[in-house]
Structure 1
């Protein structure tokens, strides 16, 4: 009897909010140390990553900080790519297309000349909040604007509530005064976070199989934060144990499914591209069943209501 072909699992990894999520709330020496930890994790993992930059996080009082720009150099020197995430992490649905496109251009004032030093130019754009427009016309206008400036939209298929875990980790790390309790809570978060994220990858693989009939090369969303600075290499090892190959974003997007683009969903949220495509096919609510949930104790630590 012939054996069934093994599932071809591929995943591209992207990290948003460079140089650091909530950079303005962290003292400079602490930020430098945590950034160093994340870069060490990226080196240990040895996989390609695209990082998406908010240039307002490079600044203090309107001035670009050289040490923050040096953090972007570290990404490029490590062989990774950088993309545009708007200047100020604006919500397209809140500010409108004109203000949003202005913010995209403002978000490349450092990035474009920086990449030119490496012989490249910005080619990836990631929507903040994954909000891509509430009508086909708005999405088409934004896509045309991005294409005219050399950008390709970087989708997300493996969406998640990683931001809640990250908020909990940051609150404990910076706010728990008792050292023993702090380390115990941080360890509990790390131990819970990794299986949550890997279970989310499994969930979106099942949705891909349901919607497309095969395992789509996925695009995974993470953020530049202290939690991923402690766990990134473990996350990569986890998906590799599941049989995934980590590929570049460009390689993942060669799959023809991505030609569907970001259309299909006209609501206020920013869903996974798989969910956009499911909406275009009028899939029932049952399609979304079984998504892993953030435990209540994590939400409590994050200060986020159920």
Structure 2
């Protein structure tokens, strides 16, 4: 059977378009386990909210690495078995657990020796918990993504982590997710249970999803501009009330964009990650893609166009900026 030339041409164009599609992969990491704002969450509500988040993780059905702040396991310095059980739920569900320090300290504020001790204090419960299943903590995530203000400080910290058996978990898709989550929690816990509160919570969820997906789009463009291809991204999220109702939709949204959710190990096989943390010497903690761009001395307009948290969300969160 013969097909008109136009049919073959359209088929060829369609094949070319398909072949040109980037290989979109993303690893998901969730910080501040067992719960982001542990000290502000009503104790009676915590078990249900944790269960909701675990259900969302199960529904999404993709790999995750969770990063633990051991200080959140304690009350007045005493480890609480119920909070350790929250971590055990993550482990039993098959998710890997990493070290996010004990007290979520700012390296740039406390200095390297105190920070190194906080890393060691951050595995006093985590290491034996994982040993129950023949596992060890392998990944480390910097609080606030602050990795050192000088090349020497970054190198010293990296060497210390390597000695302790850790790999640094970078973040390429940085975002203001924590602002949306603070806003959601403030409304959930600070307003009476009325239709108005329900409407605000729904508005926050509906705004959060496109904001986060637009961030993924932005950093894909940054990757293409800097590296010439779609880097396997590393996405930063937190264990909180908002993701306890929105996480599965968030994962579905990124999958609709053509992304495969992969393990952190797979993402980190990309050679770009060998660049490490160098490139940024300021007080904050930008995306690794932007660190690398700074190392290449990209002009200021390279960083333009990043989605921002709307003012009404900042107001509900009670913060001035992200």
TM-score for both structures, normalised by structure 1:
0.98
Residue in structure 2 matched with residue 113 of structure 1 by the alignment: 128
Question: Is 2:288 the partner of 1:273?
Answer: yes
Task: Indicate yes or no: 2:261 matched with 1:261.
Answer: no
By how many angstroms is 1:5 displaced?
2.9
The aligned counterpart of 1:90 is 105
Which residue is equivalent to 1:136?
151
Shift of 1:79: 0.8
Deviations 1:47-98 (A, max 9, x none): 0100000001001111111110111111011110000000000000000000
Counterpart CA distance in 1 for 2:239 and 2:160 is: 27
| Alignment partner, residue 3 of structure 2 | none
Matches within 5 A, 1:109-188: 109-188=124-203
Matched position secondary structure for 1:188: helix
Answer with 1 or 2: which has the greater Rg.
2
Structure 1 residue 6, shift from structure 2 partner: 2.1
Structure 1 residues 11-44: Cα deviation after superposition (integer angstroms, max 9, x where no partner): 0000000000111222322111100000000000
Give 1:32-47 correspondences, 5 Å limit. 32-47=47-62
For residues 300 and 245 of structure 2, what CA distance do their matches in structure 1 show?
A: 36
Return the offset for 1:7: 1.1
Partner of 1:227: 242
Return the offset for 1:163.
0.9
| Segments ≥4 residues shifted beyond 3 Å | none
Could you tell me which runs of 5 or more consecutive residues in structure 1 were left unpaired when the two chains were aligned. Answer: none
Return the offset for 1:178.
Answer: 4.7
Matches for 1:209-220 after TM superposition, within 5 Å: 209-220=224-235
**1:303 Cα offset (Å):** 1.5
Return the match for 1:251 from 246, 266, 273: 266
State the Cα RMSD in Å.
0.9
1:219-239 Cα offsets, whole Å, 9 max, x none, are 000011100111000000000
Count of aligned pairs: 306
Aligned to 2:44, what secondary structure does the other structure show?
helix
Task: State the shift of 1:214 in Å.
Answer: 0.2
**Corresponding residue SS for 1:24:** coil
Confirm whether residue 189 of structure 1 aligns to residue 204 of structure 2. yes
Cα distance, 1:305 vs. partner? Answer: 2.8
- Match of 1:25, SS state, is coil
- Equivalent residue of 1:221, what SS? strand
Q: 1:6 aligns with which of 21, 25, 32?
A: 21
**Structure 1 residue 202 corresponds to structure 2 residue 217:** yes
Q: Which residue in the other structure is 1:56 paired with?
A: 71
SS, match of residue 23 in structure 1: coil
